[in-house]
Amino acid sequence: MRGVPSLITDIRKNVFAEVAKMAYEEEGYGTVEDLPYKIVPGDQPLHRESVFLERAIAGERVRVAMGLSIRPIQTRILMTEGMDNADIAEQYYEPPLINIIPYACHACPTKQYRVTENCQNCLAASCQRVCPRKAISFVNGKSHIDQDLCVKCGRCASACSYNAIIFMERPCQAACGMDAIGMDEHGRAVIDQDKCVACGQCLVSCPFGAIVDKSQIYQIIHAIKQGDPVVAIVAPSFIGQFGKSATPEKFTAAMKTLGFDRVVEVAVGADICTLTEAEDFLENVPKNQPYMATSCCPAWHAMIQKLFPDQAGNISMTLTPMVFTARLIKKEQPDAKVVFVGPCAAKKLEAIRADIRSDVDFVITFEELQGMFAAKDIDFTKVEDGETLNEGTAAGRGFAVSGGVANAVVGVIKRQHPEMEVKTARAEGLRDCRKLMMLAKAGKYNGYLLEGMGCPGGCVAGAGTIISVDSATKMVNAYSKEAEMSSPEESKYRNVGGTLD
Residue bearing the bigger pLDDT, 319 or 110: 319
Whether the pLDDT of residue 372 is over 90: the answer is yes
Is 112-168 assigned to CATH 3.30.70.20? yes
Domains 7-102+175-218 and 112-168 belong to one CATH topology = yes
Whether the pLDDT of residue 494 is over 90: the answer is yes
How do residues 28-55 score in pLDDT, each as one tens digit? Answer: 898 999 999 999 999 999 889 999 999 9
Whether the pLDDT of residue 426 is over 80: the answer is yes
Maximum Cα–Cα distance across the chain:
78
Q: Please report, for the chain, the start and end positions of each structural domain, with discontinuous segments joined by +.
A: 7-102+175-218, 112-168, 230-500
The CA distance from 376 to 436, in Å, is: 45
Assign 3-state DSSP to the chain and report helix, strand, coil percentages, each to 5.
Answer: 40, 10, 45
CA distances from 254 to 194, 238, 370, 378, 493 (A): 39, 13, 11, 7, 26
The CA distance from 99 to 189, in Å, is: 10
Q: Band the pLDDT of 1: cuts 50, 70, 90.
A: low
How do residues 170-228 score in pLDDT, each as one tens digit? Answer: 999 999 999 999 999 999 999 999 999 999 999 999 999 999 999 999 999 999 999 99
Whether the pLDDT of residue 90 is over 80: the answer is no
Percent of the chain at pLDDT > 70 equals 100
Give phi and psi for 464, each to the nearest 5. -100, 15
73, 46, 95: which is closest to 214 by C-alpha?
A: 95
Q: What is the mean pLDDT of residues 430-443?
A: 98
Residue bearing the bigger pLDDT, 326 or 499: 326
pLDDT of residue 4: 82
Q: What is the mean pLDDT of residues 266-285?
A: 97
Q: Band the pLDDT of 77: cuts 50, 70, 90.
A: confident
Q: Band the pLDDT of 229: cuts 50, 70, 90.
A: very high
Whether the pLDDT of residue 266 is over 70: the answer is yes
The CA distance from 200 to 204, in Å, is: 7
- Crossing angle between the packed helical segments 404-416 and 267-284, to the nearest 10 degrees: 60
pLDDT of residue 169: 94
Whether the pLDDT of residue 59 is over 90: the answer is yes
Q: Which CATH code fits 7-102+175-218?
A: 3.30.70.20
pLDDT of residue 28: 84
